[in-house]
Amino acid sequence: MVVVGVVGASGYTGGELLRFLARHPEVEEVRYATSRRLEGEPVWKAHPNLRRDYPDLEFSDPDPVEIGEDCDVVFTAVPHTAAMEIVPDLLEGGAVVIDLSADFRFDDVEVYEEWYGVEHAAPELNAKAVYGLPELHRDEIRSTDLIANPGCYPTGAILAAAPLVEKGLVDVVIFDSKSGTSGAGAKPSEITHHPECAEDLTPYNPTDHRHLPEIRQELGKLGDVEVHFTPHLAPLVRGIETTAHGLGDVEIESEELRELYVEYYDGEPFVRICEVGETPRLWAVRGTNYCDVGIFAVGDGRIVVASAIDNLAKGASGQAVQNMNVRFGFEETSGLEEPGYHP
């Protein structure tokens, strides 16, 4: 059993963490749910869906060292560039930290500083952090005290293309991703305001999105591949649909490729391989930690694979809880067994 803290608990990812943790059989207590803005307010005021799960838990703003001393594991669901100021104190207190920001995802601190435009405040911790994609780094996750939870776009992209890259089937992968507006966070903006985006589909940062170097880093560990990525804002609340176009000289039949994916992800509890030609559907993964992968087309030097995830679950909080399960030796699916919604 573990005592848990959630730093930055008032946002969407914080709320999702609390939702998954509420019925986790190995969670003794969520002792801290922090928010400076809502300090002293009941947690259910920000997350009404959790009224019965946390009737007495209030938002608080204690010192990070205190949180680290009182908790076995702390999730940091704070903005990029903010986590690196907090995480050293949490680790000093003795907690395992699972960080949902980008601050510790990069093997090379200079890459982070270039893409995020700040000097890293704790570069020495980057060497200790493990990229928290269990399907690729499970063994390393088991033995680290700092887990860098992947970005939502990279999760769907990497899982869609990893078998292609590791088996040397493609030389180039072009990712086309569509995300719901919840990926922008709980704070309203002009771009994500419902009347502005409800009947629109908009590409943004088409060649230089911050998640591009993250995808390149992880796929580059699997093979020599050129990677391109363009995200789009879609008129839906949650979910990411990613289409991966793999280009290469290797020819393979669709059924053979599907079998390769089935074998590659054999034993992975949260990756489901669709039938050939079956479209991964966002409603099938909404609210869950699943990533559904489908093989669309093979031929003429081109392979098309698609993936579907919930950006707030497998793309953030669900994956963070999965990482906790791996790190502490719990059943990996604990607290994450809920099926998707339909319709």
Residues labelled as active-site residues? 152
Residues 6+ apart with CB under 8 A from 173: 161, 164, 165, 219, 225, 226, 227, 228, 244, 245, 246, 247
Residues 6+ apart with CB under 8 A from 48: none
The token pair at 238 is: 């949650």
Nearest to 125 by CA among 141, 138, 110, 107: 107
Q: In angstroms, how far is CA 298 from the centroid of its own chain?
A: 28
- The answer to whether residues 331 and 325 touch, using CB atoms and an 8 Å cutoff, is yes
17: helix, strand or coil = helix
Query: Peptide bond before 343: cis, by omega within 30 degrees of 0?
Result: yes
Nearest to 313 by CA among 342, 343, 292: 292
Give the helix ranges, DSSP H, for 26-108: 43-46, 64-70, 83-93
- Taking CA 299 as the corner, what is the angle to CA 295 and CA 301, rounded to the nearest 5 degrees? 110
